[in-house]
Amino acid sequence: MRVGVPREVKVHEYRVGLVPAAVRELVAHGHEVLVESGAGAAIGFEDAAYRAAGAAITADAAEVFAAAELLVKVKEPQPREWARLRPGQVLFAYLHLAPDPAQARGLMESGATAIAYETVTDARGGLPLLAPMSEVAGRMAVQVGARCLEKEMGGAGVLLGGVPGAPPARVAILGGGVVGANAARIAHGMRARVTVLDRAPAALRALDIEFGGMVDTLFATRDSIERAVLEADLLIGAVLVPGAEAPRLVPRELVRRMRPGSVIVDVAIDQGGCVETSRPTTHADPTYVEEGVVHYCVTNMPGAVARTSAVALNNATLPFVLALADHGWRAAAAADPHLARGVNVHAGRVVHPAVAAALGEAALPLEQALAG
C-alpha cells in the first residue's frame, strides 16, 4: 500500500504522523511511504532520516494527498485538506468530530473513510491511541496551570506548591481517567492540595490506593463539584465520553463565583469542553480571561512537546497502521473489533453511533460499511 504523511498544518502543531522508525517498519512490510518535505523537521526528524528509513520525499502536501491510499496524520484535517480527500482513500488521525460538525460534513462530502484514533478501543475498555496523548496532556495541564497562576499571566499570584508559612494551591480535577490521574501525579508531586472527582468508584479507589490517601477523592455530584470548584485555585477539566461531546459540568454561574485570578485548564476542549465558559484556543494565543478566571483551552496541548508526543503516539499507532496497510481497512477492521470502533465516517455517512448522535445524523451500521 502507498502510505502518505503530510506535514501538519494546524497552528503550532509540530507532531508528525509517522516518525522515521515507524516508516522503516512499514517499508520492511513491503509498503511505499511518501512523506511531505519538512514534515518532521521541527522536532528533529529531517528529510534525510526519512530517506534513510526508506521513504520517498515529496515537494508538497498536494502530492501526498493525490498519491496515498492511506493517510496517517496527527490532528484533524483542516478545511484545505478536506478538499484533497477522495472516495476510497483512508484517513487515520485524531478527529474529535462530535463538537465539529463542519469537519464532519467535510469528511462526509469527501467520500473518504475516516478512522479516529480517539475511538479505537482495547480489550480492557480503554482508548489505547488516546492514552499516550492523555498522559502528556494531563501532565502538561498542571505545568501550564501553575504558569497561569502567576500574576503576569493574569493569575492570582499563587505558587502551586506554596512555601513554609504560605499554603499551597488547591487543585481540583474533574475526571479520574488517564488525564486526571496524570494531572494528579504531577500536582501532588509539586506539593499542591489535590482533589479528584469522578463517578466511577473503581477509579477513585485506584487513586486512593496509589496516593495512600494523600490525594482527596470525591464522587462527582453537583454538590461535590460545586464545592471543589469554588475552593480551587486551579481547576482541570479531564472528563471524556468516547466519541461524544464532553458533558458541561461547570456552568458559567459557577465560574463567576470562583476566586478572581483562579485558573481553568480544560483538557476536554477537544470534545467541546466541560466548562461552559471554555472555547478553543491555540498555542499562539492560549489563554483568555472570562468572569475573572484565566482559561487555558488549547485543543492540541501535546503539540507543545511535539517530539515526546510524536514518539509516544507512534508507539501506540504503529500496530494499527501496519494492520491497515497490510490488510486494507475493511479486512483489518473485520479482524479487530477494537480497530473497527475507530471507523467514524465512510462513503458520506457517519458510522460511529456516539458521533452520529452528537451530530444529529443517522448512523451507518458498521456491518454495512465493512460489507461495502
* Active site amino acids: 96, 270
Euclidean distance between CA atoms 29 and 51, whole angstroms: 16
Alpha helices in 170-305 (DSSP H): 178-189, 201-211, 222-231, 252-256
Amino acid at 113: T
Distance CA 52, CA 20 (A): 8
CA angle 347, 8, 308 (to 5 degrees): 115
What is d(CA 95, CA 255) in angstroms, rounded to the nearest whole number? 29
Task: Please compute, for residue 49, the number of CA atoms within 13 A of its CA located in the half-sphere on the CB side.
Answer: 14
Half-sphere exposure of 123 (CA within 13 A, CB side): 1
Max CA distance (Å), the chain = 68
Is-contact 111 87, C-beta < 8 A?
A: yes
Neighbours of 343 (CB within 10 A): 25
Report the alpha-carbon distance of residue 154 to residue 300 in Å, rounded.
22
Distances (CA, A) of 348 to 94, 218, 324: 18, 43, 20
Q: What cell does 312 get?
A: 509516544
Strand 287-290 and strand 293-296: the pairing is antiparallel
> Chain-centre distance of CA 16, in angstroms?
14
Per-residue burial over 158-181, b if 16 or more Cβ lie within 10 Å, else e, is bbbbeeeeeebbbbbbbbbbbbbb
